[in-house]
Amino acid sequence: MIVHTRCRVDDRLETRLIGWAVHESYTVEGDDGAKTFTGRHFWGRVRRGYVEPLLGDEADEVAGSLGLNSLPDGDTGTSVAILDPVFGERDDAEAMRWIVDAMVWNLWPKMLPEGGDAPMRFSAHHEGLAVPVPRPSEVPHLRPFVWAYDDMTRLVEHKSMGRVLGRLGMRKFISPQGRPPRVAQEAGIGDRLHHTCLMRPVDLVVKYLEGPPFFEESGGYAAVFRADAAVDRVFAAAEPASHDAWLVDKLSGDDQRLAKHALRKINDAMKEASGPARVANEAGEGVSLAGMSRLMAGLMAGTAGEGAEAVFAADTTPPGGSSGTGRGSGGPAGAGGSPGPRGGSGVPPGRRRVLYDGAPEHDVVDGEAVIVQRFILPDAGSYVVHGRPAVALGDGRGVETEPPIGASIPTVLGWRAGSGPVTDGSSLHTVGGDGTVWSLVVRPAPDTMTEVTVVAEAGGDDR
């Protein structure tokens, strides 16, 4: 590797260049016995028995001869060149993707804007072609850590010692779809996120500390802990040479007490976050409480039906709303309809039965996080089906009827038959009785809980 850097030393800029390689250790027999070497080799200028960087014009001249771009006058920065790398089983494209992912997952705090500009700018090139470097907020499994970083308002302190240890931010969310990149997996990130990103005040990732899994499989949490500058030396001393852990047992006395207390507080916060709670995230991937509706349905008036919720008999009104085809996130809603094998006619004239096929689920359609509610139209005939998503109010108080001015609201994106493509439209014109499992696809509003209702009416032109 060749590293070419320009840094500030006191009140002046200094350019440096050094090269090194890491191989296996080896032993050489000499006149004064055997000498064992680490396998680390350095290229630079030998001074006082050590290899030190080339400086100034000499460093720039050698960098230019190696094809490294020179830095503009007055700028600081670092270029790293890997010469003739061995990629193993990876081809060039896979290796470059791995390098870029390694930069993003280990250096992402340096990519976040501070007052308009990020502290560092990152780029990658392979044989003259640029390799895209995504923003941290564009990486699904990394995005929750960015949110947690923005929420670092919780003070972590050792009260009896009167020391501030750092700040903690925590976010809960719907787990991203798919597997994380290989780099993240090597750092301990699995299909589900339940980790805290540890860092010191320099904002470089030390470790993704794993906590207890979130109680619900589709959810997760991510946290960020940044050590306070006043105790930076404590955590720095706890790091091994690879700078990828905090080995508090290396410490002693008060330093060990402080570091252990910080990790205990972090683990306590993760344990608390793993328990039941409402879940929402910046992308608006809200969770309906229809699962709770099913659990509570046995306590309500009505009888069980083929759908996901209770089917209310004639002249019964589901709690929280009129009888009919609705379902709620805060309580069970009826899936009533025309007379059938399990109930009477519990819907207004013109309505048709809708049987829900499970609770609403989280999915990604065309790269967008959505809520999907599957349903069946069990009776033959023509239907006009409407989706009625709404923002659910807290504490089971129903749905929001008058959103604040300018507030986002959940919207119907379209409909899907089976596993087919999504068809746009706020309403669905179709026929029932053929066993088709339909899906209503909804875009939730950011930072809300979403209630999904499907209403079917007789009529339409069978489109």
Q: What's the pLDDT tens digit per position in 390-411?
A: 887 654 556 777 777 767 789 9
In 3D space, the residue among 461, 463, 458 whose CA is nearest the CA of residue 379 turns out to be 458
Please report, for the chain, the start and end positions of each structural domain, with discontinuous segments joined by +. Answer: 2-134, 143-273, 290-458
| pLDDT higher than threshold 50 for residue 336 | no
Extended strands (E) in 161-305: 163-174, 194-199, 205-210, 219-227, 303-304
Q: Which two tokens stand for residue 402?
A: 């008058």
pLDDT tens digits along 119-160: 888 888 888 899 999 999 899 999 999 999 999 999 999 999
Residue 350's pLDDT band, with cuts at 50, 70 and 90, is low
- Kindly report which listed range (55-64, 78-87, 206-215, 219-228) carries the lowest average pLDDT score: 78-87
Q: How many CA atoms lie within 13 A of 288 on its CB side?
A: 30
Work out the mean pLDDT of the chain and round it to a whole number: 80
Q: pLDDT tens-digit profile of 283-318?
A: 333 444 444 444 444 344 333 333 333 333 333 333
Pairing of strands 437-443, 368-376: antiparallel
Residue predicted with more confidence, 218 or 375: 375
Q: What is the pLDDT of residues 261-288, one digit of tens each?
A: 999 999 999 999 998 744 344 433 344 4
Please give the span between the terminal C-alpha atoms of the chain, in angstroms, as a whole number: 65
Task: Report the C-alpha gap between 240 and 250 in whole angstroms.
Answer: 9
pLDDT at 54 over 90: yes
Assign 191 a pLDDT band (cuts: 50, 70, 90): confident
pLDDT of 323 > 60? The answer is no
List CB contacts of 411: < 8 A, sequence separation 6 or more.
389, 442, 443
Considering only 278-282, 341-345, 349-353, 424-428, which range has the smallest mean pLDDT?
A: 341-345
3-class DSSP state of 48: coil
